């Protein structure tokens, strides 16, 4: 058994004060750091994803640029532009605890870590297979979007998945609750860190 932790999109633009900040984002960042400092040896590898969008682009229709207005379903305000502070990890997340960094959403809409690549450009599924990962714990932002999509991707790939429910934050309570229920029905286990 090889266990991995997925840290999903704990970035400045998704925590309080960011372009798409969610309530509880800063607490998730700090909570993941505290948890990993105590449990790093529980994991063979720690992956962290980041949205990494191209400046001045709609990124395949994902970002609404003027005069368009975001619908907050398929199109979003400008966020997580590559190389900007908004794309950086939240300062509460200790990036030294991350083994592999994954970037996603480069010129295309992407919600799941499975749609990303590592720093060398290898697709994430290849990276994950290279580590022979069988079990995945998932934490991060947002429960109802990228956490959901990443956990579903892990389940579809045949891995056992646990959601660390006290280390996720969502856009809205109702959609976050629905996402967790969907993940549980799909085979994920809901646990607290």
Query: Could you report the per-residue pLDDT of 128-162, keeping only the tens digit for each?
Result: 999 999 999 999 999 999 999 999 999 999 999 99
- Using DSSP's 3-state secondary structure scheme, residue 165 falls into strand
CA distance 58 to 150: 22
Query: Could you report the per-residue pLDDT of 160-175, keeping only the tens digit for each?
Result: 999 999 999 999 999 9
CATH of the domain at 59: 3.40.50.850
Annotated catalytic residue: which of 13, 104, 137, 144?
104
Quickly state the pLDDT bin for 1 (edges 50, 70, 90): confident
Q: Catalytic annotation on 40?
A: no
Domain that holds residue 130: 3-191
How confident is the model at residue 46, as a pLDDT? 98
Annotated catalytic residue: which of 13, 80, 137, 146?
146
How confident is the model at residue 74, as a pLDDT? 87
Q: What is the mean pLDDT of residues 21-40?
A: 98
User: 113 burial class (0-12, 13-18, 19+ CB within 10 angstroms)?
Assistant: buried
Tell whether the model's pLDDT for residue 38 goes beyond 80: yes
Annotated catalytic residue: which of 9, 26, 90, 144?
9
Number of domains the chain is built from: 1
How confident is the model at residue 138, as a pLDDT? 98
Give the CA count within 13 Å in the CB-facing half-sphere of 170. Answer: 18
How confident is the model at residue 148, as a pLDDT? 98
Across all residues in the chain, what is the average pLDDT?
96
Query: Could you report the per-residue pLDDT of 43-78, keeping only the tens digit for each?
Result: 999 999 999 999 988 989 899 987 678 988 889 999
Q: Catalytic annotation on 9?
A: yes
């Amino acid at each position: 058994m090889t266990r991995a932790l997925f840290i999903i999109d704990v970035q400045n633009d998704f925590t309080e004060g960011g372009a798409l900040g969610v309530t509880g984002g800063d607490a998730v960042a700090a909570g993941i750091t505290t948890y990993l400092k105590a449990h790093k040896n529980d994991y063979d590898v720690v992956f962290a994803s980041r949205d990494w969008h191209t400046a001045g682009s709609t990124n395949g229709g994902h970002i609404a640029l003027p005069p368009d207005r975001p619908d907050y379903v398929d199109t979003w305000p400008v966020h997580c532009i590559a190389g900007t502070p908004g794309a950086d990890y939240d300062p509460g997340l200790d990036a030294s605890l991350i083994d592999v960094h994954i970037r996603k959403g480069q010129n295309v809409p992407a919600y799941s870590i499975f749609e990303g690549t590592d720093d060398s450009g290898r697709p994430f599924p290849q990276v994950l297979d290279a580590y022979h990962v069988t079990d995945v714990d998932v934490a991060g932002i947002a429960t109802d979007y990228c956490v959901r999509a990443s956990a579903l991707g892990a389940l579809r790939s045949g891995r056992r998945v646990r959601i660390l429910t006290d280390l996720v934050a969502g856009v809205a309570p109702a959609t976050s609750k629905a996402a967790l229920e969907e993940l549980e029905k799909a085979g994920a286990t809901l646990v607290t860190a």
